[in-house]
Amino acid sequence: MSADNLKALFFVECEELLEALGEGLQSMESGDADSETLHSIFRAVHSIKGTAGAFGFNTLVTFTHHFETVLDLIRSDQMGVDAEAMRLLFRASDILSDLVELAREGDGGRPDAMDSVLESLIEISRNHGEEGAAAPAPPALEEVEAEPLAFEPLAFDPTSLEALAVDGALRYHLRFDPGPDFFRNGHDFDRLVLELEKMGTVTCAADPAAMPALDGFDPELCHLAWDIEIETEATEAEILDAFMFLEEFCKVTELTGDAGGGLPGLPPLPDPGPVAEEAAKPDPVPVAAAPADPAPGPAPDPAPAAKPARAAEEKAAPPAATGTVAPKQPMLRVDPERVDRLINTVGELIINQAVISQRIVEAGFDTNSDLMGDLDDFQHLAREIQEGVMAIRAQPVKPLFQRMQRIVRETVDQLGKDVQLVTEGENTEVDKTLVERLADPLTHMIRNAVDHGIEKPEIRSRAGKPERGTIRLTAAHRSGHVQIEIADDGAGVNRPRVFEKAVENGLIPADAKLTDSEIDNLLFMPGFSTAAEVTNLSGRGVGMDVVKTSISALGGRVAISSRPGKGTIFTISMPLTLAVMDGMVVHICGETMVVPLASIVETIRPKAKDVKSIGRDGRLLFIRGTYVPIVSLSAMLGLSRSGEEAEGGVFVLVRSEQDDLVALAVDDISDQRQVVIKSLEGNYGAIPGISAATILGDGRVALIIDTEAILSQVRRVGPDAGQQKETFYEQASALG
Amino acid sequence: MNRPAHWDECDSIEFVSFMAGGQSFCIEITQIREIRRWTPVTALPHADKAVLGVINLRGMVIPIVDLAEQLGLGTSEASMRHVVIVVAIGTQTVGLLVDSVSEILAVPVDTICEAPPMSKGVDSDCIIGLVSVEEDMSRVLALDAVLPRALEEVA
């Protein structure tokens, strides 16, 4: 494994640890933290420090060190946690994630706010009498006495001796002398041994020869060396692999002679201390410069290792941190590219399956034949594989939601408001890409909610609301979609103000008659900014229209509903995946196209008497007592100049997010099927009215209709917009 | 001029020469992904006239550009006799519809002439050099310059 791979792994791990940290802090704040929570918070920071040290991210190490010291004070009840401290912990965790981000980018810089937070952390540890700094600690005599067993050299053999003498196994002697900085750099002897144990039988003994006398003793340094004997089939290089980054400190000698004999058969060890193998000989006095007491015993003590130098390390990094990684379920780390490749291949499989189905149907097999039955099975299996593969990419929205906590914190700090973010459904899983691409729109909406939604505390209390505003961020699966809701309990949309502003910006005529919901939807218009007072948070000219555009680009919809005085709810509804969707195959002017099934209400073959003309070339469809505008897709997409459909055409009724109903006129419909979405933008570009392409059973490309874009165009220019297609094109490309 | 930098490092460059709109052009062989027969396309709404549509290239959707039309040499009537040269331009993959593919040329770098500045009617941005082939002359295409406008927006 190369250093780059390891680094990548470190950052992945950091993400998880930061997530755990954020989660832990959250529950600390809400007061339902137990000691396990505190431990996990501590462990997260400690683990980051450990690995960061191995990679030489010094700023990160320094910062985590002080962060950890404060956390330790809290954990050991030496320090109480008030709101002030809580805020500091949150800020520290924000800075920690910034630092990790900077380290990932290979930028050695430090976040602006780091110094002040670091100072506060050091301040706290100083006030609590801990040596916060990494400066060499004074020789703390009483501490050593308090732990008289700390330096007891112990030999231990975690596996039984009977396991010796494996065929083909060789015995190696390893002299491992890591030098004083071993623990400071975040290493852990236990893990090395565990690693070695995977290769074979390990026996090891600590060599305290270099242990200084008490008055020169620095608990943060490593004074020990180890002699390790391993019987393994692994090669020398493989053994050294276990000592990643520490190879230089490890000397491997192959031992010859009979392997089965165990310890006495050892040739003399190369090191000065005659500590080949030792039974645990209790030696309560810390061993000074004197050589270790040679007490060769035939069998090493199988007692649990009283990791000698460990205790010294754990003066700073206390007992709970036995493993440097928080315990978690075994997870598989896979390069996302491999998953993407798999997804692509499965996509091909689905297309191929469609091709075969079509061929078989064309070949005229009886629908009751066995072959058709098998074909159905094939189709099911293909779909199942595909769902399975998609599930690999699925990720909980939790990290995203945690980022929003931070956004709220920062925004609140700047605005002097009091807002809490309550999240629900954090474990809802969504495609990884969606999670990533939701971050920006969501950030914007959360900021908006704090900035414009929630009122200032004094206004809230005057209105009889609790001073602290609440924003609820929820995620849930709804019939094949993910629904994300951002609800605030603020003032609601100030409709008169929005109306006024829209008139001011020339978006609507001053005498326009709009319903409440229409006014609310003005917020999504390009160039609309509600901020009565422009803050530096929102009101930068990018408004909700950008949010809407980016969510639409993901195949999602965003809707608003607001009640004056009660609050505003934004609802984002997204497909679970970007790769596949259900669609209806339609034919327009000889072209085959796909209409997303999600937006289709029904299809209808109209009677001539139900189609009414209106205006010069507008047409309406009369259906169940209402009139629905008819849109000619061929004219809309510029496929035919006339906008005339073939006789006996079919209408596909689609409903928009705003509940508008429109009848799309097409020549014919063939069937509905699952289609694999292929982007057009990679090799071509965005086409107004078309969201993507797919490949049909015959191998031809079919375009997927962007119903929402079509509908929003209809709203703008009225039904049967064939004549306005130029305007449509311009407006749509301005949006894209 | 806008000669590719790597030309100076090589002794000779390999080109694929082909006919489009009755003239001979060539493209550096390293930019060509494959050459395939014309297959019917799916038309794109609101596309440039030169963009014939898109095809499925083993699961990838790529646009097909009528090179003659794009260079202002008249519209090709696409038929089974036509050939599509699939080229990589930056991160994009695009198919160019041409009349026929002629041959592979290995041209010493120092014999590639610069295209002289020309009068109206000739888009000299599209031509980065001239290569003599026996009696005839072949024009070295600047691929990024022949991208139709809608394609460029992405690049």
Q: Tell whether B40 lies on the interface with A, counting CB pairs under 8 A.
A: yes
Per the domain annotation, does A323 fall within a domain?
no
Both A220 and A186 in a single domain? Answer: yes
| CA–CA dist A596, A672 (Å, integer) | 9
Per the domain annotation, does A321 fall within a domain?
no
Chain B residues 79-98 with CB within 8 Å of chain A: 91-94
Task: Collect all residues with Cβ–Cβ distance below 8 Å to A366 and sequence separation of at least 6.
Answer: A372
| CA–CA dist A118, A121 (Å, integer) | 5
Nearest CA in chain B to A350: B59
Specify which residues B25 forms β-bridges with. Answer: B18, B139
For the stretch A16-29, pLDDT in tens is: 888 888 888 888 87
Per the domain annotation, does A332 fall within a domain?
no
Whether the pLDDT of residue A473 is over 90: the answer is yes
- Distance, in angstroms, between A696 CA and closest chain B CA? 10
Q: Which domains does chain B have, with CATH numbers?
A: 5-147 (2.40.50.180)
Per the domain annotation, does A593 fall within a domain?
yes
Q: Which member of B45, B56, B62 has the closest CB to residue A687?
A: B45
Write out chain A residues lying below 8 Å of B153, CB-based.
685-686
Per the domain annotation, does A140 fall within a domain?
no
- Distance, in angstroms, between B70 CA and closest chain A CA? 15
Paired tokens of A418: 């009091």
Band of pLDDT at residue A125, cut at 50, 70 and 90: confident
- The residue of A592, A632, A684, A731 whose CB has the most chain B CBs within 10 angstroms, and thus the best one to mutate to test that interface, is A684
pLDDT at A480: 65
* A680·B150 Cβ contact <8 A: no
Cβ-based burial of A81 (10 A; exposed 0-12, middle 13-18, buried ≥19): middle
Both A598 and A693 in a single domain? Answer: yes
On whether the pTM is more than 0.90, the answer is: no
Both A563 and A607 in a single domain? Answer: no
Both A116 and A258 in a single domain? Answer: no
Mean pLDDT of A568-585: 81
Per the domain annotation, does A173 fall within a domain?
yes
Helix axes A3-29, A35-55, angle to 10 degrees: 150
| CA–CA dist A25, A377 (Å, integer) | 50
Specify which residues B84 forms β-bridges with. Answer: B36, B97
Give the E-state strand segments of A178-331 in sequence order: 200-207, 225-232, 250-255
A718 versus A141: the higher-pLDDT residue is A718
pLDDT at B112: 85
Of the residues A351, A374, A395, which one is the last residue of a structural domain?
A395
pLDDT at A298: 44
Rounded to 10 degrees, what is the CA torsion of B89, B91, B95, B101? 40
Both A177 and A304 in a single domain? Answer: yes
Candidates A528, A600, A513; CA nearest to A560 is A528
- Distance, in angstroms, between B121 CA and closest chain A CA? 27
Both A129 and A201 in a single domain? Answer: no
SS3 (DSSP) at B143: helix
Count chain A–chain B contacts defined by CB atoms under 8 A.
Answer: 79
Both A409 and A520 in a single domain? Answer: yes
For the stretch A289-337, pLDDT in tens is: 444 444 444 444 444 444 444 444 444 434 333 334 444 566 777 787 8
For the stretch A404-456, pLDDT in tens is: 888 888 888 888 888 889 999 888 888 888 888 888 888 888 888 888 888 88
Specify which residues A588 forms β-bridges with. Answer: A591
Band of pLDDT at residue A89, cut at 50, 70 and 90: confident
Amino acid found at B25: F
Both A269 and A390 in a single domain? Answer: no
Each residue's pLDDT expressed in tens, for chain B with a length of 155 residues: 466 777 777 788 899 999 998 889 999 998 899 999 888 899 888 888 888 999 988 778 899 999 988 888 888 887 888 999 999 888 888 999 999 999 898 888 888 888 777 655 556 677 888 888 888 888 888 887 777 655 444 43
pLDDT at B150: 53
Both A454 and A534 in a single domain? Answer: yes
pLDDT at A107: 67
Mean pLDDT of A60-78: 83
Band of pLDDT at residue A143, cut at 50, 70 and 90: very low
Task: Collect all residues with Cβ–Cβ distance below 8 Å to B36 and sequence separation of at least 6.
Answer: B83, B84, B86, B95
For residue A343, give Cα distances in angstroms to A83, A381, A414, A626: 47, 15, 44, 44
pLDDT at B85: 94
- Distance, in angstroms, between B136 CA and closest chain A CA? 34
Domain count, chain A: 5
Least confident stretch, A120-129, A233-242, A689-698: A233-242
ipTM of the complex: 0.82
Q: Tell whether B55 lies on the interface with A, counting CB pairs under 8 A.
A: yes
Sheet of strand A469-478, all strands in order from the earlier edge strand to the far edge: A419-424, A469-478, A481-488, A567-575, A557-563
Cβ-based burial of A92 (10 A; exposed 0-12, middle 13-18, buried ≥19): buried
For residue B77, give Cα distances in angstroms to B20, B21, B50, B98, B149: 12, 11, 12, 10, 21
Nearest CA in chain B to A699: B56
Write out chain A residues lying below 8 Å of B91, CB-based.
682
pLDDT at B63: 92
pLDDT at B120: 55
Long-range contacts of A8-14 (CB under 8 A, 24+ apart): A9/A333, A10/A51, A10/A52, A10/A55, A11/A100, A11/A103, A11/A104, A12/A333, A13/A47, A13/A51, A13/A325, A14/A48, A14/A51, A14/A100
pLDDT at A94: 85
Paired tokens of A375: 């074909």
Q: Which member of A591, A686, A701 has the closest CB to residue B61?
A: A701
Q: Which member of B41, B45, B63 has the closest CB to residue A683?
A: B63
Both A407 and A374 in a single domain? Answer: no
Largest CA distance in chain B: 45
Write out chain A residues lying below 8 Å of B53, CB-based.
701
- Distance, in angstroms, between B20 CA and closest chain A CA? 22
Least confident stretch, A44-48, A434-438, A658-662: A658-662
Both A601 and A570 in a single domain? Answer: no
Nearest CA in chain A to B53: A701
- Distance, in angstroms, between A684 CA and closest chain B CA? 5
Nearest CA in chain B to A348: B59
pLDDT at A222: 79
Q: Which member of A591, A592, A685 has the closest CB to residue B150?
A: A685
The radius of gyration of chain B's CA atoms, rounded to the nearest angstrom, is 15
Q: Which member of B42, B46, B92 has the closest CB to residue A729?
A: B46
Q: Under an 8 Å CB criterion, which residues of A touch B? A: 344, 347-348, 351, 591-592, 637-639, 678-690, 693, 695, 699-703, 729
pLDDT at B118: 65
Residue A563 domain boundaries = 397-575
Largest CA distance in chain A: 108
Both A414 and A549 in a single domain? Answer: yes
Of the residues A104, A134, A164, which one is the last residue of a structural domain?
A134
pLDDT at A716: 63
- Give the other-Cβ count within 10 Å of A326's Cβ: 20
For the stretch A704-736, pLDDT in tens is: 988 877 877 776 655 444 443 344 444 444 433
Write out chain B residues lying below 8 Å of A689, CB-based.
45-46
CATH assignment at residue A484: 3.30.565.10
Whether the pLDDT of residue A160 is over 60: the answer is no
SS3 (DSSP) at A594: strand
Tokens 């400066």 found at: A135
Of the residues A547, A575, A603, which one is the last residue of a structural domain?
A575
Band of pLDDT at residue A138, cut at 50, 70 and 90: very low
Band of pLDDT at residue A256, cut at 50, 70 and 90: low
pLDDT at B95: 93
Angle (CA) A441 A442 A444, round 5°: 65
Per the domain annotation, does A322 fall within a domain?
no
Q: Tell whether B43 lies on the interface with A, counting CB pairs under 8 A.
A: yes
DSSP H helices in A292-397: 308-313, 336-362, 370-393
Candidates A483, A480, A477, A406; CA nearest to A438 is A483
- The helix or strand, by DSSP H or E, that contains position B32, with its residue range, turns out to be strand B32-37
Mean residue pLDDT across chain A? 73
Give the E-state strand segments of A538-617 in sequence order: 557-563, 567-575, 580-588, 591-596, 600-604, 611-614
Percent with pLDDT over 70 in chain A: 75
Per the domain annotation, does A320 fall within a domain?
no
Nearest CA in chain B to A637: B45
Percent with pLDDT over 90 in chain A: 3
